[in-house]
Amino acid sequence: MTQRLVVIGAGMASGRVLETLFETAPCAYDVTLFGAEPRGNYNRIMLSPVLSGEKTYQEIVTHDADWYAGHGVTCRFGEPVTAIDRARKVVISEAGETPYDKLIVATGSDPFIIPVPGKDLPGVITYRNLDDTNAMIAAAEKPGAKAVVIGGGLLGLEAAAGLKLRGMDVTVLHLMPHLMERQLDPAAGYLLQKELEGRGIGIHTRANTHEIIGTDRVEGVRLDDGTEYAADIVCMAVGIRPATALAKEAGLACGRGLHVDDQMITSDEDILAVGECVEHRGMCYGLVAPLYDMAKVAAKTLAGEAAEYTGSVTSTKLKVTGVDLFSAGDFAEGEDREEIVLRDAAQGIYKRLVLRDNRIIGAVMYGDTADGNWFFGLLKDRTDIAEMRETLIFGPAFAGGTPLDPMAAVAALPDEAEICGCNGICKGQITQAIASGATSLDLVRGQTKASGSCGTCTGLVEQLLAVTLGDEYAAPAAQPMCKCTELTHEDVRRLIKSQKLTSMQAVFQAGNWKSSCGCHVCRPALNYYLIADWPDEYQDDPQSRFVNERNHANIQKDGTFSVVPRMWGGITTANELRAIADAADKFNVPTVKVTGGQRIDLLGVEKQDLPAIWADLNKVGLVSGHAYAKGLRTVKTCVGTDHCRFGTQDSTGLGIKIEKRMWGSWTPHKVKMAVSGCPRNCAEATCKDVGVICVDSGFEVSVAGAAGMDVKETEALGKAVAEDEALDLIVAFVQLYRENAKYLDRPYKWVAKVGLDWVKERVVENRENRQALIARFDHSQTIYQTDPWAERANDQTTKRWSPMADLTLEAAE
């Protein structure tokens, strides 16, 4: 009989419990997973790279909807559990009661908010989850915005570095005399402070926050000594405390955290707990490695296997790109302790080992942390180091003065040396996986999970691959376009331009394609690149286009298509509407829907009917809306000065002009635009690929917004006084995007890669270049600005798009 397992908290600890449980006892439990956040498990320790813009949220998702579905987990995300009734064995949430046989509490931790006046003002943010991260990213969008980070520990410094990379003016306030005092000694703390100050981050130590100033929202921070810092946001990162409110209310034994035994069982034998909410043998943990250790034990306990958690020794790395910092164990000074210190001021290297009875009990490293795992191994294993004490500080590869070769260092590590601290994976497990066929980083990650969490050991895993496989290991270069070639998209675009490759075969040849005619990944991309670069020479290949572009309609899940005629700037007429209504009647269109782009979608048309419906729509002047295209989709408008009492310019008119000029152009991905007649922005222009806000003095053109998988506000490209100049900026921007972006990168992704300054230089500042871009765009339009529907609204297409033969009819005769 399957038991019911309810899990409260969808974080990394409970995620690992479920992974281990499904491996150990796949069908033992029927799992219901509650999460307060409206999303599943993601790699929380990678929020810092998301904040700094080095990764996206999608890249740090650990369990997606498919994973949960595949394992039969009932997800209740965004639904906090409000109480546990242990007598009746149910958990209570907004939707009612959910019964359990076994319960896991994994509620994590709450950020500690220092009790100063102003702590509740809008703009005071903690740094625990994706919403916090997004709030900080949003705050950084404002040019010249200022951030104050309270707390110079691990989290606070990662937040500060990320906000700085986002362009904010950042000050860190830290209560203690040096940064990260729990992990670093004063010397390393000093080096770290110098490094961060060198990056333009202000650091104020011994800073006792007196109050957060502001009336409607946060305006600044005042210290006890009277110093004031102005701030648009204040990030509170002073620490965490186990989130035990729910457990306490249910009468479970709690101290600082929720008490568990070595099997991760609480004072109620049917309730287990893991993660940051837990107190085990007097210790609470806030790092991922102990959480994973706990999770494994909890999963085994649930599966009925014997397992024991005996506590963890932890090490720390700071995830700030370019800062190498490692610390582990106990490094306070004391009478029974000795230390070995190595300093290289010129290179900014500092290493310190704390010894007791010839054993390492603490290690701090700054600037060069390559040997960190080796020292950490000696520390955890309590290895007697008397024999190697003389050379210990130089690491495992010291061989009498020859320079350290990182490969030799990795090769010299014993099999038990821990490589991946987050997942507790040691060298032996990795080399074993490599020997049994995991010959790439991805494969090693898949089989062992090494380097799959915080990622800082990725380099070590790659070195192990290189050492184990020798020449057979090819270090991964940039991601190739597809399996047909080693070249990246960027390589291919360069090649097409520099060698004047004007046909797909020429690209296959010059790029050493491994397949005869490409594949479904490279062919659509190449077809686009060739169209964009050689409009005169290259002939569009319909067989290299995805189904929608080949058929000039959007395929639906049942194999029928949808038809969306263009409505310029969202303006239509009674005559057009009549033609659409007639077509819907004539072709038995089951669904007629108004789209978000201010036009009408006819859904559920059979493929062979497409040419006829197009012919009918063409008769009143309706043309293809390219709703299926990696090309110009819609230009949304508001009514502007024509009707609106707030309108400053003719936004509808400008929208129509843009659409008339640019329709039919192919782009790397779809392009959506909007023009709003005043800053009230009724056309929602600031989340489009290109948006225009009309003001009294002209037109503010902004680009690279998004409102899909990601939501992002546009960034200012330039301001135009006259309508024609606004149009010029837009056309030049789109042409630059057409010529340079990777296929299937929306403008916001492309701009993030090349930088807005690079774009501005070519589109705004260099007027000659702007005109050249416009000329190339207009030339391409002389070839591609044709209505694909009109070209295909004929009997020949109808015949080609109908079944070739109907053997069911023959049978009936």
Partner 1 sequence: MSEWIDIGALDDIPVRGARVVRTTLGCVALFRTGEDEVFAIDDACPHKGGPLSEGIVHGKAVTCPLHNWVILLENGEVQGDDEGSVRTFRVKVEDERILLDPTLLASRNAA
Q: Which is nearer to partner 1, 628 or 748 (CB)?
A: 628
Q: Which is nearer to partner 1, 282 or 803 (CB)?
A: 803
Does position 805 interact with partner 1 (CB under 8 A)? The reply is yes
Q: Which is nearer to partner 1, 520 or 645 (CB)?
A: 520
Closest CA to 609 of 573, 560, 672, 564: 560
Cβ–Cβ under 8 Å, residues 485 and 477: no
Q: Shortest Cβ distance from residue 420 to partner 1 (Å)?
A: 25
Distance between CA 426 and CA 416 in Å, rounded? 5
Q: State the sign of the Cα–Cα–Cα–Cα dihedral 599, 604, 607, 612.
A: negative
Q: Shortest Cβ distance from residue 805 to partner 1 (Å)?
A: 5
- CA distances in angstroms from 447 to 420, 433, 442, listed in the order given: 13, 7, 9
Does position 87 interact with partner 1 (CB under 8 A)? The reply is no
Distance between CA 220 and CA 808 in Å, rounded? 78
Does position 630 interact with partner 1 (CB under 8 A)? The reply is no
Distance between CA 165 and CA 173 in Å, rounded? 18
The SS3 call for residue 379 is helix
Q: Which is nearer to partner 1, 519 or 707 (CB)?
A: 519
Contact residue for partner 1 among 197, 225, 390, 806 (CB under 8 A): 806
- CA distances in angstroms from 575 to 581, 601, 614, 676, listed in the order given: 10, 17, 16, 26
Contact residue for partner 1 among 544, 637, 651, 702 (CB under 8 A): 544
Q: Which is nearer to partner 1, 499 or 556 (CB)?
A: 556
Q: Shortest Cβ distance from residue 517 to partner 1 (Å)?
A: 5
Farthest-apart Cα atoms in the chain, separation: 104
Q: Shortest Cβ distance from residue 784 to partner 1 (Å)?
A: 21
Cβ–Cβ under 8 Å, residues 408 and 397: yes
Distance between CA 655 and CA 657 in Å, rounded? 5
Q: Shortest Cβ distance from residue 551 to partner 1 (Å)?
A: 7
Kindly identify the residues of this chain, within the stretch 490-529, that bind partner 1 according to CB under 8 A.
Answer: 515-520, 523-524
SS (H, E, C) 260-311: ECCCCECCCCCEEECHHHEEECCECCCCHHHHHHHHHHHHHHHCCCCCCCCC
Q: Shortest Cβ distance from residue 504 to partner 1 (Å)?
A: 11
Using alpha carbons only, give the angle 272, 276, 282 rounded to the nearest 5 degrees. 80
Contact residue for partner 1 among 186, 542, 590, 708 (CB under 8 A): 542
Does position 591 interact with partner 1 (CB under 8 A)? The reply is no
Helix axes 441-448, 427-435, angle to 10 degrees: 120
Cβ–Cβ under 8 Å, residues 679 and 695: yes
Q: Shortest Cβ distance from residue 808 to partner 1 (Å)?
A: 5
Q: Which amino acid is at 493?
A: R
Does position 67 interact with partner 1 (CB under 8 A)? The reply is no
Q: Shortest Cβ distance from residue 513 to partner 1 (Å)?
A: 11
- CA distances in angstroms from 517 to 484, 514, 522, 545, 578, listed in the order given: 9, 9, 10, 14, 46
Does position 69 interact with partner 1 (CB under 8 A)? The reply is no
Q: Shortest Cβ distance from residue 480 to partner 1 (Å)?
A: 16
Does position 78 interact with partner 1 (CB under 8 A)? The reply is no
The SS3 call for residue 5 is strand
Q: Which is nearer to partner 1, 498 or 808 (CB)?
A: 808
In the block, residue with structure tokens 């070590």: 460
The token pair that represents 779 in the structure block: 């030339």
545-584 footprint of partner 1 as x/- string (CB under 8 A): xxx--xx---x-x-x-------------------------
**Residues in binding contact with partner 1, number by CB under 8 A:** 29
Q: Which is nearer to partner 1, 387 or 806 (CB)?
A: 806
Does position 335 interact with partner 1 (CB under 8 A)? The reply is no
Q: Which amino acid is at 293?
A: D
595-624 footprint of partner 1 as x/- string (CB under 8 A): ------------------------------
In the block, residue with structure tokens 């060739």: 530
Q: Shortest Cβ distance from residue 804 to partner 1 (Å)?
A: 4
Q: Shortest Cβ distance from residue 807 to partner 1 (Å)?
A: 4
Q: Shortest Cβ distance from residue 595 to partner 1 (Å)?
A: 21
Closest CA to 371 of 337, 338, 331, 328: 328
Q: Write down the H helix ranges in 673-766.
A: 723-740, 747-754, 756-760
Does position 190 interact with partner 1 (CB under 8 A)? The reply is no
Q: Shortest Cβ distance from residue 628 to partner 1 (Å)?
A: 12
Does position 270 interact with partner 1 (CB under 8 A)? The reply is no
Neighbours of 3 (CB within 10 A): 13
The SS3 call for residue 365 is strand
Q: Which is nearer to partner 1, 114 or 555 (CB)?
A: 555
Distance between CA 136 and CA 133 in Å, rounded? 5
Q: Which is nearer to partner 1, 398 or 529 (CB)?
A: 529
Neighbours of 38 (CB within 10 A): 10
Kindly identify the residues of this chain, within the stretch 761-800, that bind partner 1 according to CB under 8 A.
Answer: 800
Q: Which is nearer to partner 1, 186 or 803 (CB)?
A: 803
Question: By the criterion CB under 8 A, which residues form the site for partner 1?
Answer: 515-520, 523-524, 542-547, 550-551, 555, 557, 559, 800, 803-811
